Amino acid sequence: MKKGLKVKNIKKQFNGIWVVNGITAIIHPGKITAFVGPNGAGKTTLFHIITGELKPDSGNVFLYEKDITGFPPWKIARMGVGKQFQDVRVFENLTVVENVVVALMKSQEESVFWTFKNFYRIRERFKNYTEKAMDLLKFVGLDEKRNSLARELSFGQQKLLSFARLMAGDFKILLMDEPTAGVAPSMIKKIVGLLDKLVEEKGKTIAIIEHNLNVVSDVAHWVYFLHEGKVVFTGRTDHVLGHDEVREIYMGF
């Protein structure tokens, strides 16, 4: 089987400091891969390189064995790679269902010319989008909030909404930067359940950056531990998180 996504010997420096220094990693299809490590280890920079927001100084990114190094973000997204940012990005003044409908819309449908030309098709098209949006909201547990404004949701609920918006893109590979950061324990449990369902029921491939090692232990099939821009340890989750040096670097004991 072709590897889902692979980075090979990726390097990136800022102001003479190597933030990512020769990272090689594989995100296997149908699995959850976690990238962990202290702040400044290079995790988020690596994700930005994968999705095209940054270009590496050297090294390559492969998607299904195709070299996509340096491709623009829009092209990588169209090839099936989606990203959820650490900060919640929703339209606060739109309703919950409208937020997802917007994510479902095709780019050409956002133009005035397309709207004018296809005026009589719009009602049926948006009816279909609304039905799809409701299915996604039900999947993340926000269907009862469909008519609430996004700004009225709790931070945790906004995270769930961002999940629904990400799923609207129908990406095959999902990169998630700190999906459980800043939310209550009860919401963390919901998000962990969603990650499992995305893999088991939707067939998604997921890579996460996550500081909560309990979450990593619960969901990840494979872990890369990064330190000072390099992969220090990699392997099964229990193997990496149970390593003495990992605990010393990351947790201080």
Q: Residue 20 CB: number of other CB atoms within 10 A?
A: 26
Total H helices, total E strands in the chain: 10, 10
**What pLDDT score does 253 carry?**
44
pLDDT tens track for 150-208? 999 999 999 999 999 999 988 999 999 999 988 899 999 999 999 999 999 999 999 99
Statement: the pTM of the whole predicted model exceeds 0.95: no
Instruction: List average pLDDT for each run of 10 residues in the chain, which is 253 residues long.
Output: 82 93 94 92 94 95 94 94 84 92 69 52 74 94 93 92 92 94 90 94 94 92 93 89 72 52
CA atoms within 13 A on the CB side of 239: 9
Domains for the chain: give ranges and CATH numbers: 1-80+174-179+200-253 (3.40.50.300), 88-170 (3.40.50.300)
Strands 222-227 and 32-36: parallel
**What pLDDT score does 225 carry?**
93
For residue 163, give the amino acid letter.
F
Angle at which helices 122-140 and 185-200 pack, to 10 degrees? 120
